[in-house]
Structure 1
Amino acid sequence: MSGDWSVLRSSSLAPPTSPVAQLPTNTSQYHPLSDWEAPSFTRAAQFRVGATLVLFVFAACSNLALLASVWRGRRLASHLRPLMLSLASADLMMTFVVMPLDAVWNVTVQWYGGDVLCKLLCFLKLFAMHASAFILVVISLDRQYAILHPLDALSAHHRNRRMLLLAWSLSLLLASPQLFIFRAVRVEGVEFTQCATHGSFSRRWQETVYNMFHFTTLYVVPLLVMSCCYSRILLHIHQQHLRDKAGESYLRRSGTDIIPKARMKTLKMTVVIVLSFIVCWTPYYLLGIWYWFQPDMLHITPEYVHHALFVFGNLNTCCDPVIYGFYTPSFRADVAACCRWTASGADTSPRSPDRLSIGRGPHSGDHESEPAANNQAGD
């Protein structure tokens, strides 16, 4: 997907949230625009802007806190740190590129940024969306390796770096067509300019194929890969449980009782992450598919539905740090210590958030210091 689906059709000169003001579907023919009405900043769009600003503040604070905690923390396993740093970075790209662009574009209604900025921001928008999805795929693959092949941990660091490089490279490659199909288009006869794909596709089916391709890479493929990984994890845990019941619990060596608990915590966290991705983005993509094959649906469904589903999809950016923090005591300790430090002012005490997260006593109930649970966010 090249961003908000309601602006993808080559015949549309409306901003992402204003599906009104259409030009003819056949881009090779142009009819008079005497009856054409420019889109406006509707009440539904105002709700979308307000909700987006709230999500922006929360997502920026939470993901920056996650980024700082993972960067400074010494408790997270070395092979997991690049994964969490990449996840936070991808979410921050969504936060600082997609959300502000969407809000400002809704307020201005038309495009004032010129042709170069139109191409660049549409490219960055799709790049951020691909990166966010692909990083979740990399994390899922890492979790599968960690649980199904726990003795292969030594190669995890190099394997994860290669997968992350591939994820970021694919995101860059798949978003690059945005630089060529989007342009600032001026409506003849009226003072209205829009950043759209108008004129980039000679036939509507070509644009539909383009949109369906990005729908597959943004949603279908990541969902299938993650579902496959977590299905194998569930099957492995189930088989392990059956062996344990049969008296073959060969993994329960001395001092390793924490392993099943850590794996169960990992399983719960990864399942919640997948569910948040599915729940947040599925309605938005389904509505997009409906639009691509039945454009008249824009006149059937209320405008606030389009706005609400896009906002709900962006909620996924806020979910990742919340889920990570819920299953990672050290992150919660870092956030709590940072809040205390902020409330008390510039404290010269050596108890920095980083030291708090690694200096908790043996009776504090936090067992992350044990090797078997060194990565409660997923070993």
Structure 2
Amino acid sequence: MCRNEKFVIVITLILTQTNALNVALENKYENINRLETVELNSSMDNVENIMNRADNAFDAFNNNDTLKKSGTEECVGDAEFCNMTREDYIEMLNEYIYPQTYEWILIGTHTAVFVMGLVGNALVCVAVYRNHTMRTVTNYFIVNLAVADFMVILFCLPPTVLWDVTETWFLGKALCKILLYFQSVSVTVSVLTLTFISVDRWYAICFPLKFKSTTRRAKIAILVIWANSLLFNSPELVVLTTVKSVPLRFELEYLVQCMATWSSQSDLVWHIIKVVFIYTIPLMLMTVAYYQIVRVLWKSEKIPGQAETIKLAPAEQISSFTAQLRSRRKAAKMLVAVVIMFAVCYFPVHLLSVLRYTVDMEQNDAITFLALVSHVLCYANSAINPLIYNFMSGKFRREFRRSFCCSASPIRENFTTLTHLTTSKTKRPCDLVTFECRTPAHYKSVCSSSLVGNGYRNNCLR
């Protein structure tokens, strides 16, 4: 076979294979197109099915009276709720928020705290107002503390109890901001007032010659306390709002919470700041101050700064200095008791506030109960201070008794107290005698006394 014939055969084979390959490719493309057409038709069928289902759902919505009343297109949650009417749903929620047995106990406790707090703190203010001799620097601060506690009891306790028991804030967005803000302000005022009292007493007792405490300075300090408290808690006015914690079947005002809108991390930082600056640091300052005060008053038989005066004074003046020292010790005991009660009552609520964001605590009945008890302790602190004054201060006790029992009787004026009085005839010491005249303060009275045994009989003459 010649070379030309071989070449023709090779070319013929190549052309044959090329034609076969082209035919195969054409068949493949046809199959692909056929598959794409089938898939496209299937997708179109799915779209049509989805549209038909949506139309059917819309028709069902229009034909369902229960869904029309709900105002929602889809019922979320238990299927049992989807078949409930609005009235049945509200009844179910009312049963859910109805107080349990332990909550009724807490409601009764809050009621007792409410009455005691209002009456007690009001009596503190009335006592200092009526008795001019009680208008001291310390008592000005005590009145400021009573005003802050009165505000907490009156404006914050009732809505907080309602909120804790029903798990719902019913008072709206505006009162959510205002009431919780002023609750924080009042607590801050109480803390700063206790701190100022401790610092004032520390200077007055430990450094009497370096600092003179006056009522004018006390009034300025009270203004500073309120200004700082209003400014420090101002972020809460911005971030507090009402939020629905649980999606409900109908548009209802149940299970609404008053809470901050910032992130959980920001809320944690804010609570830590409050724990540090409104609890820990003031408590440390008060502890150091009262430690110094107690050390000076109980380890010395004289008032600091008056040693030379006592040495040169007659016996009557020495007795007066001793009485003054005893009075300061009583006042220090009373103030230390107030600080201890503050530390104990506010510790649980601060601890829970931090643990809520740092520890994964499951919300159960035990945690809810602890939260309610911590709130009770906070409000109890605002009501217990007047009881401390009553038990540990004779002046407050007399004014409280007069306000309760003798408000209609003439004012009793205490003129003087005689101690270890000796007569020229008997040379026997007489008992402690207090001259009291039942006359108004603006009348002039002359008290005459006659010795009867070891005591005195008073006669008041106008």
Q: Which interval holds the TM-score relative to the shorter structure? A: 0.7 to 0.9
Contact 1:52 1:103 in 2 (8 A): yes
Aligned partners of 1:207 and 1:111: how far apart in 2?
A: 19
Aligned partners of 1:220 and 1:366: how far apart in 2?
A: 45
Q: Deviations for 1:172-220, whole angstroms, at most 9, x for unmatched residues?
A: 112211111111223544433523335x223x22211011111222211
Which amino acid counterpart does residue 201 of structure 1 have in structure 2? Answer: W
Which amino acid counterpart does residue 336 of structure 1 have in structure 2? Answer: R
Aligned residue among 214, 224, 229 for 2:284: 224
Aligned partner of 1:162 in structure 2 is 220
Aligned partners of 1:160 and 1:214: how far apart in 2?
A: 25
Matched ranges for 1:209-288 at <5 A = 209-237=269-297, 240=300, 250=308, 252-253=310-311, 254=313, 255=317, 256-288=321-353
Which amino acid counterpart does residue 263 of structure 1 have in structure 2? Answer: R
Contact 1:65 1:335 in 2 (8 A): yes
Matched ranges for 1:319-330 at <5 A = 319-330=384-395
Structure with the larger strand share: 2
Aligned partner of 1:195 in structure 2 is 257
The structure with higher relative contact order (CA 8 Å, sep 6+) is 1
Aligned partner of 1:105 in structure 2 is 163
Q: Which runs of 5+ in 1 are unaligned?
A: 1-31, 368-379
Aligned partners of 1:302 and 1:138: how far apart in 2?
A: 35
Aligned partner of 1:371 in structure 2 is none
Distance 1:138 1:261, change over 3 A: same
Aligned residue among 162, 178, 188 for 1:130: 188
Contact 1:41 1:106 in 2 (8 A): no
TM-score (norm 2): 0.62
Contact 1:62 1:318 in 2 (8 A): yes
Distance 1:243 1:57, change over 3 A: closer
Aligned residue among 128, 138, 142 for 1:70: 128
Contact 1:115 1:184 in 2 (8 A): yes
Which amino acid counterpart does residue 414 of structure 2 have in structure 1? Answer: G
Aligned partners of 1:80 and 1:242: how far apart in 2?
A: 21
Aligned residue among 51, 57, 61 for 2:119: 61
Aligned partners of 2:385 and 2:392: how far apart in 1?
A: 11
Distance 1:92 1:299, change over 3 A: same
Q: Which moved more, 1:50-59 or 1:328-337?
A: 328-337
Q: Which runs of 5+ in 2 are unaligned?
A: 1-74, 82-91, 419-431, 436-462
Aligned partner of 2:356 in structure 1 is 291
Distance 1:318 1:311, change over 3 A: same
Aligned partners of 2:164 and 2:270: how far apart in 1?
A: 24
Contact 1:280 1:313 in 2 (8 A): yes
Which amino acid counterpart does residue 58 of structure 1 have in structure 2? Answer: M
Aligned residues: percent identity?
Answer: 23
Aligned partners of 1:366 and 1:210: how far apart in 2?
A: 55
Aligned partners of 1:153 and 1:324: how far apart in 2?
A: 26
Contact 2:181 2:237 in 1 (8 A): yes
Distance 1:201 1:328, change over 3 A: same
Which amino acid counterpart does residue 257 of structure 2 have in structure 1? Answer: C
The alignment partner of 2:361 has SS state of: helix
Distance 1:68 1:153, change over 3 A: farther
Aligned partners of 2:303 and 2:166: how far apart in 1?
A: 62
Q: CA deviation at 1:241?
A: 5.7
Q: CA deviation at 1:154?
A: 4.3
